[in-house]
Amino acid sequence: MRSLICTFALVLLLSSFSIFQVDNDSFLLQQEKLKHVADDCAAAASLYYTSDSYGDGIRIFDKDHGNSAVSYLIKQNLKEDPLQYYVYYFDGDGHVTEYKGKDLVKRQKVEYPYLFEESLTGFKEMVYEPKTIVTIDYKLFDYRLVFLRDARLIRTSGYEYVGS
């Protein structure tokens, strides 16, 4: 009887290790995937700009098309809809525009170099040139072991035009 109880205890312990290993591997894979998606979204948002201002030598991003590209890529590349995503456009004329999903949150004039700080992730970046930054707040990753706190899947990525 004693050996049976010991075995059950060991099976529980080893199962916990095994479950943690599977969950943690899955968490790291999803985090890596999210990093790539954030990279792709930031690159996609920077592709569209107004041709009139570009003719004057200033890159001003076309936010409507940039937001459509980000929204579409997130839908295509992630299995579930994220809790929220944020897109920041740093235009060549010094305007910073922040979107939460497709909704305009803030538009302000700054001077480059400008220290950008993402409030959600604490990501800091000195912005010198036109740039797009995307933050995807994907979800809380559910660790199956009840005594582990759920981890947040969130990534920020930026795409910059150097010397434009």
Partner 1 sequence: MHELIAFLICIPLLLSFVPQYSLQMKNNRNMDRVDTIVNSAKEEARQAGYFTDENITHMVDEIVELGFTEDEVIVNVTKVPKYRTETFDSRELIEYEVGVPIEKKIAANQLFGISDEENKGTYYTRGAVTSEKLPYVESD
In which element (H, E) is residue 75 found? helix 63-77
Q: Is 142 in the site for partner 1 (CB under 8 A)?
A: no
Of the listed pieces 25-33, 92-100, 110-118, 155-163, which binds partner 1 according to CB under 8 A?
A: 25-33
How far apart are alpha carbons 54 and 58 in whole angstroms?
Answer: 5
Number of residues that bind partner 1 (CB under 8 A): 35
Task: Tell me if 86 sits within 8 A of 99, measured CB to CB.
Answer: yes
Residues 6 or more apart whose CB falls under 8 angstroms from that of 39 comprise 157, 159
Q: How far is the CB of 73 from partner 1 (least distance, A)?
A: 6
Tell me the chain's radius of gyration from C-alpha atoms: 21
Q: Mark residues 66-85: x for contact with partner 1 by CB under 8 A, - for none.
A: x-xx--xx--xx--------
User: In this chain, which stretch among 10-18, 112-120, 121-129, 148-156 interacts with partner 1, using CB under 8 A?
Assistant: 10-18
**Cβ atoms of 132 and 66 closer than 8 Å:** yes
What would the x/- binding string for partner 1 be over residues 41 to 60, using CB under 8 A?
--xx--xx--x---------
Contact predicate 73/85, CB 8 Å: no
Whole-number Å distance between alpha carbons of 11 and 19: 12
Nearer to partner 1, 28 or 140 (CB): 28
The CA distance from 91 to 130, in Å, is 5
Contact string 101-140 vs partner 1 (x = CB under 8 A) = ----------------------------------------
Longest Cα–Cα distance of the chain, Å, equals: 85
Minimum distance between the CB of residue 160 and partner 1, rounded to whole angstroms? 15
Angle CA 45–48–49, to nearest 5:
120
- Site of interaction with partner 1 (CB under 8 A): 1, 3-4, 6-7, 10-11, 14-15, 17-18, 21-22, 25, 28-29, 32-33, 36-37, 40, 43-44, 47-48, 51, 62, 65-66, 68-69, 72-73, 76-77
